[in-house]
Amino acid sequence: MALQRLNIVNIRNISRQELIFSNDINVLYGSNGSGKTSVLEAIYMLSTGKSFRAQRMAAAVQHGAEGAVIEAWMQNTSIKLQKKGAKKAQFFVANQVTNSIVELARLLPVQLLSLQGYQLLNAPPEERRKFFDWTMFHVEPGFLKLWQDFHRTLKQRNAVLRDKYSQNDGALNFWTEKLVETGCDLHETRLRVLKDWLEYTKNYCQDMPGVKNLSLDYLPGWNAEEVDYAERLALSLRQDSALGYTRFGPHRADLQISVAGEPAQQMLSTGQQKTFVAALQLAQSQWVADCTDKHPVLLIDDLPSELDKQARAKLSETLSKTPSQIFITSVEKKAFSTLLKTRPQKMFHVEHGLVTASAASNVASPKSVSKQAVNPLETA
């Protein structure tokens, strides 16, 4: 899964850059505003089709430039993003156009560990749902279809609930039945797959700083232990009709995270939350790797600089064990890397949008990088 080579043209302050990475750890260091996060952002955009720090991808295109190109080569394939002017970005896999972001995510799964990550604990349920559905997506081949079927049906039922006339002609019964069917499929699949993942995650995270008696519970989106989904929808029909939407179901699922019987965000300090969420994410990557043999690429943005000594040591111990390819940004060259010396590292100095492989690296360049011609502006 390792990203061997990356070309960036006109992303933020990076005008043109060709980079060859280590399959192990890549440390990008340099002062604030030098362009470190922009490199991670470029990788993230190839995997997800969006930036993690801008609503619109256009914001990442260099001011004054007509377009941008990002291209990455992995062992057996390549992904390219091309953005021209105001047009939508186009994606290519092995030089063939693709409209499927899902395909990108499967080819290059990435996980971002950043300062904002710890907000997962305080965020609305949607964020935690996305978090466990990321596991679902990678380890359960049929999950995406189940998810899409359910959400399409939900949309139809909600439309009928808003339209008072069509409720008389059986449309509501039809879509309710279908919602029960697709909702139960989705719920049961989550229940089955998440059971082991939650257990694994709990074991992985339970000795993080401040974490005692950790419990992780999947909440299905209704009181599924008391009533089945059909009954729940029947009970809430009148109110759903009045409101014009479906209140209960897998679209309301959540993950309840408690430490010593209290919500984790109340029990853990901000620093502890950061390490804890990082550990949750690492556990997730490891689980996906164990289940699928695909190791998500880890993008770690500035995180180490925010952690105290104990948290850094714990995190680096955890990172040392993962075989994933890692990209770490840091203002200080040695901030974190010294703790990870058990794994080979390649150091990159970033300065005013220029990224230079530094002589301090303790890893040789990968022997076989793709031989494909590299001229990112050719098609831009």
Report the nearest approach of Mg ion to the CB of residue 36 (Å): 5
Structure tokens at 132: 């466990």
User: 35 or 183: whose CB is closer to ligand ADP?
Assistant: 35
Distances (CA, A) of 1 to 20, 42, 299: 15, 17, 14
User: 1 or 40: whose CB is closer to Mg ion?
Assistant: 40
User: 12 or 346: whose CB is closer to Mg ion?
Assistant: 12
Report the nearest approach of Mg ion to the CB of residue 106 (Å): 28
Instruction: Give, as one character, the DSSP assignment of residue 364.
Output: P
Give the Cα separation of 52 and 82 in Å (integer). 18
Given Mg ion, ligand ADP, none, residue 32, with its beta carbon under 5 to 8 Å by kind, binds ligand ADP
The answer to whether residues 183 and 150 touch, using CB atoms and an 8 Å cutoff, is yes
Given Mg ion, ligand ADP, none, residue 304, with its beta carbon under 5 to 8 Å by kind, binds none
Report the nearest approach of ligand ADP to the CB of residue 355 (Å): 10
Given ligand ADP, Mg ion, none, residue 116, with its beta carbon under 5 to 8 Å by kind, binds none
Residue 288's nearest CA partner among 75, 125, 108, 48 is 108
Report the nearest approach of Mg ion to the CB of residue 327 (Å): 12
Neighbours of 69 (CB within 10 A): 23
Give residue number: closest CB to Mg ion: 37
Tell me, what amino acid is at 353? G
By CB under 5 A, tell whether 37 contacts Mg ion: yes
The values of phi and psi at residue 247, to 5°, are -85, -30
Given ligand ADP, Mg ion, none, residue 310, with its beta carbon under 5 to 8 Å by kind, binds none
User: 38 or 201: whose CB is closer to ligand ADP?
Assistant: 38
Report the nearest approach of ligand ADP to the CB of residue 49 (Å): 18
Give the Cα separation of 62 and 124 in Å (integer). 33
Number of residues that bind Mg ion (CB under 5 A): 1
Structure tokens at 29: 């260091």
CA angle 5, 98, 109 (to 5 degrees): 50
Length of the chain: 380
User: 16 or 252: whose CB is closer to ligand ADP?
Assistant: 16
Binding site for ligand ADP (CB under 6 A): 12-13, 30, 32-38, 61-63, 329, 350
Residue 121's nearest CA partner among 279, 311, 314, 306 is 279
Give the Cα separation of 152 and 157 in Å (integer). 9
Report the nearest approach of ligand ADP to the CB of residue 2 (Å): 22
With b meaning 16 or more CB within 10 Å and e meaning fewer, what string describes 130-151?
Answer: ebbbbbbbbbbeebeebbebbe
User: 28 or 289: whose CB is closer to ligand ADP?
Assistant: 28
Q: Which stretch binds Mg ion (CB under 5 A): 36-44, 46-54, 89-97, 275-283?
A: 36-44
Report the nearest approach of Mg ion to the CB of residue 299 (Å): 11
User: 13 or 98: whose CB is closer to ligand ADP?
Assistant: 13
Binding site for Mg ion (CB under 5 A): 37
